[in-house]
């Protein structure tokens, strides 16, 4: 015959409490994530025109057009590009498939040279091919 007490701990109430806490955390976590507030910076209505991009199109006959303008010979590029780079942030050099790669690289070098002449070393130059 055993006496009134048992030496083993009854863990059933402990497991019940842990399961209830787990369910509470699982329910509350998505609610807490949805109520996260984000503060956005204020909008500035008068932003200067510093973010202008220039598109330079290089054709198969090695003529060049600036921003959908008229075509002109490649040798006139530095003179026509210089005033446009005053406010430019980026220059895109578009070319068709028939243009030799050496001419594309030469045009990119010309753009970078003109940008350094007008003290605009922060102008980005990107090359992209046109499918025509």
Q: Evaluate if residue 16 carries a pLDDT over 90.
A: yes
Q: Evaluate if residue 36 carries a pLDDT over 80.
A: no
Distances (CA, A) of 72 to 53, 102, 127: 20, 19, 19
CB 99 within 8 A of CB 65: no
Question: Which overall architecture, per CATH, does domain 52-129 show?
Answer: 2-Layer Sandwich (3.30)
CA distance 17 to 15: 5
Distances (CA, A) of 76 to 71, 89, 99, 110, 126: 10, 21, 18, 11, 20
**Which residue ranges make up each domain of the chain?**
52-129
* Tens-digit pLDDT profile for residues 76-92: 888 888 888 887 888 88
CB 95 within 8 A of CB 65: no
**Is the model's pTM score more than 0.75?**
no
């Amino acid at each position: 015959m055993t006496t009134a007490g048992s030496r083993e701990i009854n863990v059933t109430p402990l497991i019940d409490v842990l399961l209830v806490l787990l369910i509470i955390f699982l329910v509350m976590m998505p609610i807490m994530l949805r109520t996260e507030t984000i503060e956005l910076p204020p909008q500035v209505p008068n932003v200067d025109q510093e973010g202008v991009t220039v598109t330079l199109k290089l054709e198969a006959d090695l003529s060049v057009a600036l921003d959908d303008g008229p075509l002109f010979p490649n040798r006139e590029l530095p003179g026509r590009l210089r005033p446009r780079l005053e406010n430019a942030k980026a220059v895109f050099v578009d070319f068709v498939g028939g243009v030799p790669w050496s001419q594309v690289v030469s045009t990119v070098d010309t753009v970078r040279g003109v940008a350094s002449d007008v003290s605009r070393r922060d102008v980005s130059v990107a090359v992209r091919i046109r499918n025509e």
